[in-house]
Homo-oligomer: A and B are copies of this chain.
Amino acid sequence: MGKQRYTYDYPHPAVTTDCVVFGFDGHEMKILLVERGIEPYKGMWALPGGFIRMDETAEQCAQRELQEETGLNLSLLKQFMTFSEVNRDPRERVISIAFYALARKSDVKGGDDAAQARWFALNEAPRLAFDHDYILRKAMEKLREDIHFEPIGFDLLDSEFTMSELQRLYEAILGIQFDRRNFHKKMLQTGIIEEADDDETVFFGKNREMRSMSIDALFGDKAEEMPRPCPTSPNSNSRTTRRWGTKFRFNKRRYDKFKEDNNFRLEF
């Protein structure tokens, strides 16, 4: 059959989505790139993405393209900016709606169904096709902003994680160093993470009187009567007194309540 063509009274730009997928391997931030198989920029690395279809939203398009090109199926894609420079694509006028997404550690390690997709450490990424370097930088800026208000860090870790992993993650995203003790206290104090040791919910930290925490800084304050594992009493079920490598998990329920209490504003 003959090639179908589409005609309009006025010129229309093409519209694509591009997706910046962040990952964290426990030590540094990674991004997922695909190698372009066709011109333009054939052979260069680029953000996964592609042209929007007429029957899908930008969100659906980004998710589909990500799945097709990298094998990753991430449901939480966050739109952060639309790029509309006139000559950003040599073929024709292309406007790109950009998203970022967060992949779990397991995705980063296992990953790469698609042969042409690869994880790169942020500072080892090659130059990208089109204006994707710029898009990437904007995504990183947005991620830094968002982490002040959303507990996005947890989407980058496995469901159970150590406090040090969490701290390294925040340090990697924000590019600053935290005091270990202050970070630990601050995180517990919010009440949105809990010890994952036993199955029963141990109530750590105080939950009341929580206003706003300046993020800059995720550090402690005065420890206030928090129940702690007493090392003297022999813990029955775990024979080896495991005091190291304590695992924590994110408590979504408590986070939602916390946000509600604080007028939906949460600042780490």
- With CB as the reference atom, state the residue of chain B lying closest to A149: B145
A86 and B57: CB pair below 8 A? yes
List A211-268 residues whose CB lies under 8 Å from chain B: 211-217, 262-263, 265, 267
Say whether, besides A82-B58, A82-B82, A214 and B212 are in contact (CB < 8 Å): yes
B84 and A57: CB pair below 8 A? yes
Chain copies in the assembled complex: 2
**Nearest CB in chain B: distance from A80 CB, A:** 9
- Check: A97 CB closer than 8 A to any chain B CB: yes
List A97-149 residues whose CB lies under 8 Å from chain B: 97, 145, 149
Contact with B along A149-160 (1 / 0, CB 8 A): 100000000000
**Out of B14, B57, B211, B217, which one reaches A12, CB within 8 Å?**
B14
Say whether, besides A7-B5, A9-B3, A212 and B211 are in contact (CB < 8 Å): no
Q: Which residues of chain A have a CB within 8 Å of any CB of chain B?
A: 3, 5-15, 51-59, 79, 81-82, 84-86, 93, 95, 97, 145, 149, 176, 211-217, 262-263, 265, 267
